[in-house]
Chain A
Amino acid sequence: MKLIYERSQPGRRASAIPRYEGLPEPEVPEALRRREPPRLPEVPEFELVRHFTELSTRNFGVDTGFYPLGSCTMKYNPRVHERLVALPGFASLHPLQEEDGAQGALELMWRLQEILAEVTGLDAVSLQPAAGSQGELTGLMLVRAFFADRGEAEQRRKVVIPDSAHGTNPASVTMAGFEVTPVATDARGNVDLDDLRAKVDEHTAALMLTNPSTLGLFDENIVEIERIFHGAGALMYYDGANLNAVCGISRPGDMGFDIVHINLHKTFSQPHGGGGPGGGPIAVRGMLERFLPVPAVVRREDGSFGLDYDRPHTIGRVRGFAGPFGVFVRAYAFMRAYGPRLREMSETAVLNANYLLARLKEAYELPFDRLCMHEFVLSARNLKREHGITALDVAKRLMDYGFHPPTIYFPLIVPEALMIEPTETETKETLDAFCDAMLAIAREAAESPELLKEAPHTRPVKRLDEVRAAKHPIVKYGFDAHPEPGSEARPVATEAPRGS
């Protein structure tokens, strides 16, 4: 398929920009003036539409089919949300509008905060962080501020993270200026309590945990974990990536967590958009409220809503304005469509996952023999041992059956991992079809392994060479100097000429 630049022809365009007669025409000072125009595409509007439509046909979304990526919660994105965010009162509202001109937006944000506080069992919320990772970083900054306030900043430099944790957790810890203390997982899939007791002391600032874990298992010892951390004077941070399992059933605040980030693009249906946007609001226990980012969204005594900047202990601003407002509209609408029935959402997610687990655990290896929560991890290690088939091969072959593969090779503690999360928005027929495919693939591994090794066969491209992409990075179109596909030539002229 052509790149948009390859569809370009000089002199074509889609835009029309207003021009007015009789107005001043100031010139940009010579030293600052653009010399060479950027080589943006030159296409008429209908070519533009055809190009992007064709691109979309080469892509697979939740709208296309089953998408069981573990820890991503690929649930249905309600269509009414797209209509709601496009209302001019939301879409065309400038973030610096005076408060009296933004009461609808401010009230929506305030109500969203109230709902998140109830769902998490905590006291105060900031909607500002732009994604889960940013929520994590913000949460860790709160931890630092809390201990600095008590004079313990130098003393408490360590954050405990289980070896099953998502990579963002240690990355966030480093960015916040802490050190990672890893803790092992035991044979039941819980955090290893003996290892934990040995590693938590007066130098520990916090625990970062998701519960259920990335293994899809609820930590049976969560009550004891709380005693260990709070007993040592440390804080507990909850990674909300797996909240879809426990809404209305168990709240992170009640588990003992002091800070929680929520992924609005997971549990609360913000569409993933090919990689983003998301929303990573944080909820905290009362003693941490004063450190939250500014501005805070508040309801005043007269019932009006506003932005409060008077927070002397705030860690500061982590993102522009009050946060990704369009994401809030969708998440708020989703929560209002469920109300207390969020509990049924979680129950259905957990039921769907256990059903898949029951049907698949004979054909694949099950590292932890327990009921799962909203997701579970299988290993393709038996297929590798017996037939040389890897989790990657299984994933590529699933594409031929019309499914998006599950997450593979994560968590790191399970070899040839397949992490499967169906979510609640699937019929039993879809679940059965997926299981039938997985079982067929296990049979194919024995009978016709080359079919798997060369998969996928039915996608717009065959298996792609990622080694080549890493060794010879071509990260933009080189126009006249762009290399032919597959040529060994290293593109030389794709580097822009240097300024003086």
Chain B
Amino acid sequence: MAAAESYPDDVRYHPEHDWARVEDDEAVLGITWFAQDALGELVHFEPPEVGATVAKDASYGEVESVKAVSELIAPLSGEVIEVNQRVVDAPETVNEDPYGEGWLVRIRLADPAEVDALLDVDAYKQLLAEQ
């Protein structure tokens, strides 16, 4: 069962429909409600390895539905310190709870100043309205 549409204000947004929740020098990354709705029910999550470097605006992995595949775009740069195994085992968790249980990776931030370039919830909603 997919979640109801929502865009929480405790995360920052990337225009490619990815979010980041900053917690001190770490951040948790995921995809927004809009992204999971466009893809449909997810069937596969291809994560990066723990220890891999991710770069802001670059791809760090993929998610797939039956009919589409989508690159995951990193909102922030850093080192992968944890991958959400629950999503690897049950990718539909992202559809059910995209901002909670459906988180994808946790990273240690390389440059916390990058957060300023991300969109807040109002700016992201504005971007969606223009789509």
Chain A interface residues (CB < 8 Å from chain B): 409, 466-467, 469-471
Task: Find out whether the CB atom of A409 lies under 8 angstroms from the CB atom of B67.
Answer: yes
Judge whether B91 is part of the interface by a CB distance below 8 angstroms. Answer: yes
Per-position binary interface string of chain B over residues 52-87, scored 1 when its CB falls under 8 Å from any chain A CB and 0 otherwise: 000000000000111100000000000000000000
Give the docked Cα–Cα distance between A467 and B65 (Å): 8
- Please tell me if B21 contacts chain A, counting CB pairs below 8 Å: no
Q: Is there contact, CB below 8 Å, between B67 and A471?
A: no
Does B17 sit within 8 A of A, measured CB to CB?
no
A469 to B43 Cα, complex, angstroms? 9
A selection of 8 A-B contacts at a CB cut-off of 8 Å is A409-B67, A467-B40, A467-B41, A467-B43, A467-B66, A470-B64, A471-B44, A471-B91
For B67, list chain A residues within 8 Å (CB).
409
Pick the most buried of B41, B43, B44, B64: most chain A CB atoms within 10 A of its CB: B43
Q: What residues on A are CB-neighbors of B40 within 8 Å?
A: 467
- What 1/0 mask marks residues of chain B from 73 to 116 whose CB sits below 8 Å from any chain A CB? 00000000000000000010000000000000000000000000
Q: How far is the CA of A471 from the CA of B91 in the complex (A)?
A: 9
Chain B contact residues (Cβ within 8 angstroms of A): what range? under 10
CA distance A470 to B67 in the complex (A): 10
Closest chain B CB from A391 CB (angstroms): 12
Known: A470-B66, A471-B43. 14 other contacts (CB 8 A): A409-B67, A466-B66, A467-B40, A467-B41, A467-B43, A467-B65, A467-B66, A469-B66, A470-B43, A470-B44, A470-B64, A470-B65, A471-B44, A471-B91
Closest A residue to B91 by beta carbon equals A471
Q: How far is the CA of A471 from the CA of B41 in the complex (A)?
A: 10
Contact residues in A for B66 (Cβ distance below 8 Å): 466-467, 469-470
In the assembled complex, the CB of B30 is this many whole angstroms from the nearest CB of chain A, namely 20
Residues of B within 8 A of A (CB): 40-41, 43-44, 64-67, 91
Please indicate the chain A residues that have their CB under 8 angstroms from the CB of B91 in the complex: 471
The residue in chain A whose Cβ has the minimal distance to the Cβ of B40 is A467
- List chain B residues, Cβ under 8 A from A466: 66
Greatest chain A CB density within 10 A among B40, B64, B65, B66 is at: B66
Chain A residues within 8 Å of B65, by CB: 467, 470
CA distance A466 to B64 in the complex (A): 13
Chain B nearest Cβ from A217, distance in angstroms: 25
The answer for the CA separation of A469 and B44 in the assembled complex, in Å, is 12
Complex A-B, nearest 10 residue pairs according to Cβ-Cβ distance, in ascending order: A470-B43, A471-B43, A466-B66, A467-B41, A470-B66, A467-B66, A467-B43, A470-B44, A409-B67, A471-B91
- Chain A residues near B41 (CB, 8 Å)? 467
Complex formed: what's the CA distance from A469 to B66 in Å? 9
How far is it, in angstroms, between the C-alpha of A416 and the C-alpha of B34 when the chains are bound?
Answer: 18
From A470, which residue of chain B is reached at the shortest CB distance? Answer: B43
Measured CA separation A202–B30 after assembly (Å): 40
B43 contact set on A, CB distance < 8 A: 467, 470-471
Residues of chain A with a CB closer than 8 A to B44's CB: 470-471
Residues of B within 8 Å of A471, CB to CB, are: 43-44, 91
Contacts of A469 in B (CB 8 A): 66
CA distance A470 to B44 in the complex (A): 8
Q: Which residues of B contact A470 (CB under 8 A)?
A: 43-44, 64-66
Closest to A409 in B: B67
| Complex CA distance for A274 and B91, rounded to whole angstroms | 32
Task: Tell me how far the C-beta of B69 lies from the nearest C-beta in chain A, rounded to whole angstroms.
Answer: 11
CB distance from B43 to the nearest CB of A (A): 4
- Nearest-CB distance from B92 to chain A (Å)? 8
Q: A471 — nearest CB in chain B belongs to which residue?
A: B43
**Alpha-carbon distance between A466 and B43 when the two chains are bound, in angstroms:** 10
CA gap between A470 and B91 in the complex, in Å = 11
Give the docked Cα–Cα distance between A467 and B44 (Å): 10
B70 to chain A, nearest CB (A): 14
Bound together, the chains give a CA A467 to CA B41 distance in angstroms of 7
CB-CB nearest in chain B for A472: B43
Taken together as a complex, chains A and B put the C-alpha atoms of A159 and B24 apart, in Å, by: 45
Shortest Cβ gap from B96 to chain A (Å):
14
- Tell me, in angstroms, the Cα distance from A409 to B38 when the chains sit together: 13
Least CB distance, B56 to chain A, in whole angstroms: 23
CA distance A459 to B41 in the complex (A): 25
Residues of B within 8 A of A409 (CB): 67
Residue of B nearest to A468 (CB): B43
Kindly report which residue of chain B lies nearest to residue A466, judged by CB atoms: B66
Task: Tell me the minimal C-beta distance from A81 to chain B in angstroms.
Answer: 35
Shortest CB-to-CB span from A474 to chain B, Å, is: 14
CA–CA, A276 to B60, complex, Å? 37
The minimal Cβ–Cβ distance linking A271 to chain B, given in whole angstroms, is: 28
Residues of B within 8 A of A467 (CB): 40-41, 43, 65-66
Bound complex: CA A232 to CA B66 (Å): 41
Instruction: Kindly provide the distance from the CB of A377 to the nearest chain B CB, expressed in whole angstroms.
Output: 18
Interface centre among A409, A466, A469, A470 (most CB of B within 10 A): A470
